[in-house]
Chains A and B, each alone.
Chain A
């Protein structure tokens, strides 16, 4: 079923995605992407990260514009609260990824979405990052995501959208499975 025959309009060009999927099946090297960020420390716990270019489809790519994001810590940590904490940015990524997936899957299944609202909460015992208790991990002890979705579909179909989105989500995978993180350093001249 092409988009022409589908009545749902969620703003996702599924035909283009399916065409890309078919093309990349034949050319797996073009499917190799690199996502990038550069970050500048400003002061205290305040940093500014810029997103502008990435690599994919065999060539360098650029976003339509540069995006800048400030991260900081709240005042209760004696910081200036110039932006969300970095761990909150992780929630930004997860919510953005899952909701995008829900829209894409809904479009592919011809389900009209009217409202997709996610509420996220991550638990963290900061005895970990403060080095108080070695048995406590630094990161989240869990993330809870709740979706409120209004759509032309049964509750089971809506649950299936959310499940399928998790199955194909990059950020869900990054958070639920181990990733090798390699940090190098050089002394700036």
Chain B
């Protein structure tokens, strides 16, 4: 029966990864509840879910960009979070909260479009192109505010980031969950989804069968920018301030989440469920280490090891441990 299960799992790497991740998550929960008596309480759940939406949106965008191949990657998402936040913060006194947020989301899409054009029209390798835009976007956010955070958000704006429905955070229930479902359906049940996966698997073949690969990929960079902007809105609503360094370091977490979730770094394989469980694993580790009062430095170390381990080829692991079959 175990052999049967093993063959079934080998047939579907994504499902195998999903099971592995769920196992990893359970291990993380057990370890964390041993480390801290405060971890295994019902109050931890909304606390944990509070952290999930922002990273979740960035991770979903990153998953799609990487999935469409190229190889694609978007290192500027953290900087987009910062820059959109600063712009919304500046517009808010003139326009009111929600129109400012809408403009911010449009801006996020435009910033993503810049990435998409640099990578897919000018054909600059995505890694270096988005590294450069990360410099520019992040620098603009810091320089235009002189590094000072912006406040003056009205109290009712906190509904999204701080409010709860049925004990669950609104940002999770009304933003992340619907987004994840829509993207999952798009990826598995629609032609666009097929086109994305086909572009990631073999862009030459996809191009020859009539898919406009460049347009698909540009669209995904725009989507990644929009999702980052939505994440920025949630972050502002949570803290009721726009910090110009709000997104610093988030791009690395987003990439970690995407590849940990089973998205192949060169595209073609991957999906939404893996990414979602990967976010839960990462957030559980962060919250758990925080509750156990262990230095934030260890979180960095653990995330680094997870990142490398999740990309390392399994063949190499077998070779290293002398595991041969």
A and B associate: no
